[in-house]
Amino acid sequence: MAISEAQNIRLTRVGPDTPMGDLLRRYWHPIAAEAELLENPIKPVRLLAEDLILYRTSNGEYGLTEPHCPHRRAAFANGYVEPDGIRCSYHGWKFAPDGTCIEQPYEEMASGHTRFRAQICALTYRVEVKAGLVWAYLGPDPAPLIPTWEPFTFEHCFKQIVIHEVDCNWLQCQENSIDPLHFEWLHGNWTPGQNGHREAYSATHVRLGFEPWQYGLCYRRLHEGDDETSLNWRTQRLSMMPNLFAPLHFEWRVPIDDHRTLGIVWMFDRVPAEREPFAQDVIPCWHGRFHDDAGRPLTTHVLHQDVLTWTGQGRIADRTREHLGRSDEGVVMFRKQLEADLKAVAEGKDPSGLIRDPEQNKCIRYPHDMRDAYVKAPSIEALHQRLHRMRQLTPVRDNVFLVAGQPDDIRQQWEYAVALRDTPP
């Protein structure tokens, strides 16, 4: 059953003073990687249709502020980052991460006091760092906690962050997180289907299972010839409210505005016992590549196929013309949960999936059967066999990742971590 135009608008528009914008502002969102700010301490960002400036002071504190100085509206993007804040490059007014104006060089000299300065404040939002990601919260106090998903606590893992932009609304990206059937046709059958080799199609899905869990929804899938002992049935794939997919890696679909989405992928690989102890000072970050040198869309990796499909639905999918079937049960459940959360926020209540208890947030385990693969060190042989199986999916060099474009230096770090090379880079 299709939804109405009014409901489609309600679920997709994310700016200030919109129902979905108000809902999404109740959650923390990753907006950058810590490694990015170590290279360049100032980064313009756009989040939930608001233009902002993210920065890191030389003392290691983070700020998220309006893009223009409250004095004469000069761009903070051209400012100077100092130990205690950001200074406007136009007339030198300086602001602390909480928005307090802490210096007005000429005004203070000319007047001999700071009363004028005390009246000035820049608009700022909360920002914190966790798991190598920089997170923002644009909602009302009291803010919830950034979830400490169990993989954030895993030791002896090579972790990396991949960032990309998607040219469409966030909702069609996130609805993919609760749509298991697409694995068969979009990923399993993409290459043979595009090349006319129907005999090479992947195994058919014969059963899908959907259910709610504490932080969102989850699904299971069963292929022809398998039973309930199969990994795809035992290992629940998770759609965490409002815009996260897990558990084998993390994918956030963060709304930039109504027509663009920031994709952030957080991946982790357990290193073999021979590489222990293993730790990273900083989780490396890179930007995914979605087009070849001639500008043609790449389709070799999982995320390439996803993104090409999402953008093919339009900047904002017209859900009034859909015809949902039985495989769309999870999508229907997700939309109903969003509607329930919109109602809760309108009534002054918390939406689903928020975490406020520090004890609960020490380590949040989620329901899947692959925990041992990341807690227990694999042998080099077992790890390499797994990587070999992954390489069979597509005939490209770096297909063990979700997207193309991994830089050579990060590739070499990963190869050493998983014992594909003997000496560190």
* 8 Å CB contact between 36 and 264: no
> Rounded mean pLDDT of 184-192?
90
Superfamily (CATH) of domain 28-137: Rieske [2Fe-2S] iron-sulphur domain (2.102.10.10)
How far from chain centre, in Å, is Cα 182? 20
> Rounded mean pLDDT of 158-177?
98
pLDDT at 369 > cutoff 80: no
117-121, 292-296, 299-303, 350-354: segment of lowest average pLDDT? 299-303
CA distance 103 to 335: 48
**Residue (of 281, 245, 241) closest to 265 by Cα position:** 245
What percent of the chain lies above the pLDDT cut of 90?
84
Hey, where are the domains in the chain? Answer: 28-137, 150-417
CA distance 183 to 330: 14
- Residue 377: per-residue pLDDT: 87
> Rounded mean pLDDT of 188-206?
90
- Residue 395: per-residue pLDDT: 46
- Residue 390: per-residue pLDDT: 67
CA distance 309 to 211: 25
pLDDT at 1 > cutoff 50: yes
> Rounded mean pLDDT of 51-77?
97
242-278 tens-digit pLDDT? 999 998 899 999 999 999 999 999 999 999 999 999 9
Assign domain 150-417 one CATH number from 3.30.70, 3.90.380, 2.40.160, 1.10.3430. Answer: 3.90.380
CA distance 247 to 88: 43
Model's pTM, two decimal places? 0.95
**Residue (of 31, 64, 306) closest to 175 by Cα position:** 306
- Residue 385: per-residue pLDDT: 83
CA distance 242 to 247: 15
pLDDT at 396 > cutoff 50: no
pLDDT at 149 > cutoff 70: yes
17-26 tens-digit pLDDT? 999 999 999 9
> Rounded mean pLDDT of 17-46?
98
- Residue 392: per-residue pLDDT: 59
pLDDT at 84 > cutoff 50: yes
182-186, 232-236, 275-279: segment of lowest average pLDDT? 232-236
Query: What confidence tier does 399 reach under pLDDT thresholds 50, 70, 90?
Result: low
The CA-CA-CA angle for residues 67, 69, 75, to 5°, reads: 50
Query: What confidence tier does 391 reach under pLDDT thresholds 50, 70, 90?
Result: low
